[in-house]
Structure 1
């Protein structure tokens, strides 16, 4: 966890991250590459770098993100997270340094948000089945059973081993792993090229600039009007993440059921349409955008002065 302060903005009225970043360079053609990783289209843009070096940097960054996905995805049966979940209530399993780091970070964010952000939320995720195309609202009994299995404090860490205390528990890193993977990829890019940006479905990090005295500019897009950009801001050496009710959802009548679930109720969080957060790392922005979305505007506004000093 970075010791720097977390500077963030919460945009509560119909704002989402567009992912569109201007990338023109007056001295070299930009290198743009895309790849589908972690369930989203990841775009890497590099400017003012030797083309061969830029291609190598992009390849290595994509490879790192793919490696992280193989460790942490619940959709990969032999990932470390899947094996931990399979062993819930049984033995502790040794894990890699990366998985240990992100689980520890997830627990830390659980403590800081008093359980609003909870990486043990997978039983609820499975109950709703947004990724599987399910469009059925779970029964109160189903939600009660699933919420009873959600508690990050029942994740046991000893040395390099992880154990889930109760059978049926399961970890889901969907609210933090993509940001972590972007951060790892950015570290690789920074070691090889002077200017770049990664956009992983709205989780972004930009460093350097897009041209002489020209910063990277990120557009904020209306979640109900995808073609409309409401605002823009410059981004340099910061991470950005957005949580919104328009990314994965289904409608029942006039009711929108989205994938950002409140661990306390098991239901989709009610409040803002979208929240965008800036922080020193994308992983921190990822966790905060989820937590603030669930909290809602009033609680988030009341706590904002405290959150800027979270470490």
Structure 2
């Protein structure tokens, strides 16, 4: 069972950006897919014709990222790791993302944990036949959770127990956003909005930053910052059973109700932080502030 990840954030009025800019300021918009859902890159100061080579570079980079982190492609590095329990000679970006995931796992005291995939699987399989997961199934899956059992170096990534599996859906969209942002900088672009699941705003639109609309309808003006939003009820494995796509790694936490957004210089950090914020109680949200994350009740 696969789920298309819901996009919580939008560039306010992105579809009309071209008409809102002055006649002397062209804008080019790339639209495609990223890790299972729609994606967008808005380039201020370039015409569509001028942007064609950049669009091709974006598509090549997204294809490469999908080949690493996708749960939808049977040949992705992530699915091979989950299938075999080991990934030999991992791509540097795989190591970089998993290293950042480990940092966020430690910083959040385990609230952010990519090894919750067995919990997703057991609930998804039960929902597919119209029932709730049984307690013994949940307990067995819970025993496979724990990012401290994942080891990695340049030679391999290894899952410490048979049956363990990773999901990178709580950080890979942000990582993809960061990679595309770096690509835009290398192209010499400064006024850009990237949305590969989470948003990173670079430079300005109209000289006043980029307007990002939160699920509540409230807009933030963002400049050189990333925004990510998570919601336990945003994507449901089973609507009738009210089972969402975010799971508490320790099995006992009550998930936060409603969306919450995280802002950080890195979209990957913001992505992981917003996921952790759904799990963390109010009195432990300061763990995220310690790594430079600003939270907004979305």
TM-score tier, shorter chain, comes to 0.7 to 0.9
Instruction: Confirm whether residue 306 of structure 1 aligns to residue 290 of structure 2.
Output: yes
Q: Which has the higher helix share?
A: 2
- Segments of 5+ residues of structure 1 without an aligned counterpart are 1-15, 223-228
| Deviations 1:197-254, CA, capped at 9 Å, x for gaps | 11234x101111112x2321112233xxxxxx2x2111111111000134211333xx
**Aligned residue pairs, count:** 279
| Deviations 1:41-92, CA, capped at 9 Å, x for gaps | 001111112443323223312321221111112332222122222222xx66
Q: Of 202, 214, 219, which aligns to 2:213?
A: 219
CA contact (8 A) 1:49 1:194 kept: no
Instruction: Confirm whether residue 242 of structure 1 aligns to residue 206 of structure 2.
Output: no
Instruction: Confirm whether residue 195 of structure 1 aligns to residue 180 of structure 2.
Output: no
User: What is residue 3 of structure 2 aligned with on the other side?
Assistant: none
User: What is residue 7 of structure 1 aligned with on the other side?
Assistant: none
User: What is residue 70 of structure 2 aligned with on the other side?
Assistant: 73
- Segments of 5+ residues of structure 2 without an aligned counterpart are 1-7
Q: Of 158, 166, 174, which aligns to 2:169?
A: 174
User: What is residue 272 of structure 1 aligned with on the other side?
Assistant: 257
1:180 Cα offset (Å) = 0.6
Aligned with 1:278: secondary structure? strand
Aligned with 2:9: secondary structure? strand
Larger relative contact order (Cα-Cα within 8 Å, sequence gap ≥ 6) = 1
User: What is residue 17 of structure 1 aligned with on the other side?
Assistant: 9
User: What is residue 34 of structure 1 aligned with on the other side?
Assistant: 31
Question: Residues of 2 paired with 1:296 and 1:38: CA distance?
Answer: 29
Distance 1:184 1:143, change over 3 A: same
User: Matches of residues 67-216 of structure 1 in structure 2 within 5 Å?
Assistant: 67-88=64-85, 93-129=88-124, 136-192=131-187, 193-201=189-197, 203-211=198-206, 213-216=207-210
Distance 1:47 1:104, change over 3 A: same
Moved more, 146-155 or 256-265: 256-265
1:103 Cα offset (Å) = 1.1
Question: Residues of 1 paired with 2:195 and 2:293: CA distance?
Answer: 26
**C-alpha root-mean-square deviation of aligned residues, in Å?**
2.5
1:295 Cα offset (Å) = 0.6
User: What is residue 251 of structure 1 aligned with on the other side?
Assistant: 239
| Deviations 1:249-296, CA, capped at 9 Å, x for gaps | 1333xx6321111111188x5223111011001100000000111113
1:153 Cα offset (Å) = 0.9
Q: Which has the higher strand share?
A: 1
